[in-house]
Amino acid sequence: MTVLADTWCNILNDFPAYAKRGPAPRNLETARGGRNADVRPQMTLELFRQSNQADCAEIPIPDPVLELYSLYRPTPLIRAKAFEEALGTTSRIYVKFEGQNAAGSHKLNSAIAQAYYFKKAGVERITTGTGAGQWGAAISWACSRAGLDVTVFMVGVSYRQKPLRPVMMRVYGAEIHESPSEVTEVGRAARIADPQCLGSLSIANGEAIEIARSIPGARFAVGSGENHVLLHQTVVGQEALLQMKEIGDFPDVVTACVGAGSNFAGISFPFLRRSLRAGKAVRIIAAEPVACAKLTRGIYAYDLSDASSTTPYVRMMTLGRDVVVPGIHAGGLRYHGTSPLLSAMYQDGLFEARAYRQLQVFETAVLFARATGLIVAPESAHALCAAVDAVREAPAPISVLANISGHGLLDLSSYDAYLRGEMDDGLPDETMIARSLSLLRQRNEYAEAI
Amino acid sequence: MTVLADTWCNILNDFPAYAKRGPAPRNLETARGGRNADVRPQMTLELFRQSNQADCAEIPIPDPVLELYSLYRPTPLIRAKAFEEALGTTSRIYVKFEGQNAAGSHKLNSAIAQAYYFKKAGVERITTGTGAGQWGAAISWACSRAGLDVTVFMVGVSYRQKPLRPVMMRVYGAEIHESPSEVTEVGRAARIADPQCLGSLSIANGEAIEIARSIPGARFAVGSGENHVLLHQTVVGQEALLQMKEIGDFPDVVTACVGAGSNFAGISFPFLRRSLRAGKAVRIIAAEPVACAKLTRGIYAYDLSDASSTTPYVRMMTLGRDVVVPGIHAGGLRYHGTSPLLSAMYQDGLFEARAYRQLQVFETAVLFARATGLIVAPESAHALCAAVDAVREAPAPISVLANISGHGLLDLSSYDAYLRGEMDDGLPDETMIARSLSLLRQRNEYAEAI
């Protein structure tokens, strides 16, 4: 049986308060609430609407988007028996695998949708920032297919760690810059401030925004964090619900890695809704790197999401925009903050979070690869760590569903470093974290005071 | 509907003469026919039987093999409409895509079967040679899963062009050597003969055979060329027949690339049988590189398949074992000869062949990637070239099925070279080809004479 979900799950319908509270951006410098017109000059009306509407529970996926989804969806949901055996557990571990499409990750789900809406709105070029390059590859192909030009700024450290991913984007016809680059003010400023700058998603996005504002017909697109991106990704969880039903099992625990949040929201929102509406409790665990532990160590505060300061302050779980995240191989999880919507939900206790060190992540990834053959992205391996914890800590056999956001074939140099014993544990500089959090608290207190 | 083929198509049943004639190896030095005991000391009885039996048309796939096949089969058979549009053709182009499994290519189909039969026969370690590394990756995982150790010799030029593929094998727990290596007599001799040696499948296999013969419990496995490997790959064509039926179309032309022949045989044998038994004519086209054009430029003669001279002389379409093939990126097509069975069939006019230059191959691959998102292996792109020729030359719209043997994600550095304009056309040294063919003719005439 083919199970193809044809709607996105709009979680704002379950929590209408977030639709109002969620975005609520502020300008800390002026202590004014940002107006929408200031806030998202780059978003098309339809995407803006998707980010804020609470009135319908399910949003129909447009036919042209569904048609492209059908090239690779439904994605596999398989029981990883060989992995269970390798762990010696009697629990059932399922994985939902989003790495089997051409672009290699879940990012394609939103890339296709965004390319569709932008094209429909008359946009000619998309600019964007990408971390490990999964989003960059996805939007490059989606734009190529939709007949849109695309300019990608890829975080420097990932660009060098994963040299084949920018090639992939070029194959799809995209223009790629290593960020910080020399082609924008934001990039040049970052290079002057730190000539050895590893780069960050906040700088890459800042560069992309600058370019979008300077070229007529160009718009900035974002691969995660915003509500509409989270919404598009719920096709993953919608489909997984149907597949679990077909299998005749239901997960006690759902795990996913969290960067800016779209992968995590994609699998978990539909399960959260099922849990709320059908009274079937599901424990949802967000897995993050110790290197960038915004959920387990960050604070809930107003902060900037990009280095260009053109985006408004948003309230989110964050380590502060001044934090310098170690160059871990899970480049997609190096963003200092996370989605405002998810952050609010985390504050309200709707899910848990765990942080993992880099070596444990790769140890788990190699164990999984030998058992199942699947070489997963370092980001996705965090979800496997959380799944392993869940079955090990359970007093009795349970059912766990781990979301594998992408394959790791273009991350094999990272696996190489691990197998050679040349990988560090990805621990952050504690002094720097303390300083960043302190700066963040000061800014927020100042804004409260005036 | 899920279409999962549960039998392999034994083409020897359609052409029993080949079962006798096909292997018929000779020792040119002694002018004696080789005895079976000399010939394949490394093959298990069951695989040997599969290589020679003509009595049954369909061979049931063993359950444990089917179970592992079901992890990734059926593989997609999709109509590449966007590629048709890019070509401006009204013909229908279908692609069967074997690159979606964990190991990344069709090679897994035989790797799983061989690991099963070797394990059952009590073997403990597999040794093998691999060209571009698709076979090496597949056998590494299949052995890891079956609990067998594995030693892989990978052709040097491919090892350097595709550095992530040996990493993949290491992730699966394999021991990898760049060939020619220092660990075997065969390898050392090749290095002495030519310190700049690019390596070849014949040397890599020679090294693997040497190791297999020196370690108790070790056996040599081969990724293509032998009849049993061709047999295992027919699961691809068996499945494609079912899928074409489900779609309600039937190909006028089937194309596939040919190296040692397993990919080509895998898709084409079932269609050839259908064509013979149901009277539905199918044109079958083998696509090879101009760099190594054994079908279109080679001769049908006795030749050695490996550099160690431990394997017997077999009659095949070959450029001669002394030919030095340019270091083209389609490393899997660099073997100087091809399957004896396919060679005999080619002599009998059962299929056609076309040769393509490297730049045309990559031009087609990039066009295909932008249209469909799929980045295919350079080997597989040859099949696309043949498909494009077929639709362009057809006087009226036709239906073409191209077999895509694997993905090209670990070949992206080749795409990079192409996009940067740093790729050559892969043309062979004409003097060297003439010399190799002349030497080959002399050896064969000598053997005929005594």
Q: Which residues of A touch B (CB under 8 A)?
A: 71, 78, 82, 100-104, 141, 144-145, 163-164, 167-168, 170-173, 366, 369-375, 409-410, 412-413, 415-416, 419
Contacts 24+ apart (CB under 8 A), B62-70: B62/B113, B62/B116, B64/B116, B65/B112, B65/B113, B65/B116, B66/B4, B66/B6, B68/B112, B68/B142, B68/B145, B69/B4, B69/B109, B69/B112, B69/B235, B70/B4
- Say if pTM beats, i.e. exceeds, 0.90: yes
Name the pLDDT band for B35 (thresholds 50, 70, 90).
very low
From its phi and psi, is residue A227 left (phi > 0), alpha (psi between -120 and 50) or beta?
A: alpha
User: Could you tell me which residues come within 8 angstroms of residue B262 by beta carbon, excluding any fewer than 6 positions away?
Assistant: B106, B107, B110, B223, B224, B225, B229, B230, B232, B233, B339
- Ranges of CATH 3.40.50.1100 domains, chain B: 70-103+227-449, 108-222
Question: With contact defined as beta carbons under 8 Å apart, do B339 and B224 qualify?
Answer: yes
Q: How confident is the model at residue A31 (pLDDT cuts 50, 70, 90)?
A: very low
Residue of chain B nearest A162, judged by CA positions: B164
**Position with higher pLDDT, A35 vs B70:** B70
Cα B397 versus chain centre, distance: 30
Q: With 60 as the cut, is the pLDDT of residue A222 above it?
A: yes
pLDDT digits (tens, 9 = 90+) for A277-325: 988 889 999 999 999 999 999 999 999 887 667 777 889 999 998 888 9
d(CA A185, CA B1): 55
pLDDT of residue A33 exceeding 50, the answer is no
Is the Cβ–Cβ distance between B332 and B317 less than 8 Å?
Answer: no
ipTM: 0.89
pLDDT tens digits, one per residue of A362-401 = 999 999 999 999 999 999 999 999 999 999 999 999 999 9
- Range with the poorest average pLDDT among A16-25, A117-126, B202-211, B348-357: A16-25
pLDDT-derived band of residue B307, with 50, 70 and 90 as boundaries? Answer: low
Q: How open is the CA angle A352-A356-A358, to the nearest 5 degrees?
A: 155
pLDDT score recorded for residue A445: 86
Q: Tell me the three state secondary structure of residue A208.
A: helix
At how many degrees (to 10) do helices B358-372 and B378-393 cross? Answer: 90
What are the backbone dihedrals phi and psi of residue A166, each rounded to the nearest 5 degrees, phi first?
-60, -30
Question: Residue A89's closest CA among A357, A389, A381?
Answer: A389
- B413 and A372 within 8 Å at the Cβ level: the answer is no
Interface test with A, best of B409, B411, B420 (most A CBs within 10 A): B409
In the Cβ-directed half-sphere of B421, how many Cα atoms lie within 13 Å? 0
Interaxial angle between packed helices B227-247 and B45-52, expressed in degrees from 0 to 180 and rounded to the nearest 10: 60
Q: What is the mean pLDDT of chain A?
A: 91
Closest Cα of chain A to B378: distance in Å? 13
| Best mutation target, A77, A134, A361, A412, to test chain B (most B CBs within 10 A) | A412
A108-222: CATH architecture:
3-Layer(aba) Sandwich (3.40)
User: Residue A414 half-sphere exposure, CB side, CA atoms within 13 Å?
Assistant: 35
Identity of the residue in B82, B103, B412 whose CB atom sits nearest the CB atom of A168: B412
Question: Span A70-103+227-449: which CATH code?
Answer: 3.40.50.1100
Q: Shortest CB distance from B144 goes to which of A71, A104, A370?
A: A370
| Cβ within 8 Å, pair B409-A145 | no
User: Token digits for B122?
Assistant: 């009590």
What does the alpha-carbon distance between residue B390 and residue B401 come to, in Å, rounded to a whole number? 10
Q: Does A369 sit within 8 Å of B171, measured CB to CB?
A: yes
Can you tell me the mean pLDDT for B296-312?
A: 84
Residues A397, A400: Cα–Cα separation, whole Å: 10
Length of chain A: 450
Residue A182 structure tokens: 């020399």
CA distance to partner chain B, nearest, from residue A406 (Å) = 12
Answer whether B392's CB lies under 8 Å from B90's CB.
no
For chain B, give the longest Cα–Cα distance: 60
Q: For residue A82, is pLDDT > 60?
A: yes
Picking from B72, B148, B150, B167 by the largest number of A CB atoms within 10 A of its own CB, the best residue to mutate is B167
Alpha helices in A254-312 (DSSP H): 262-278
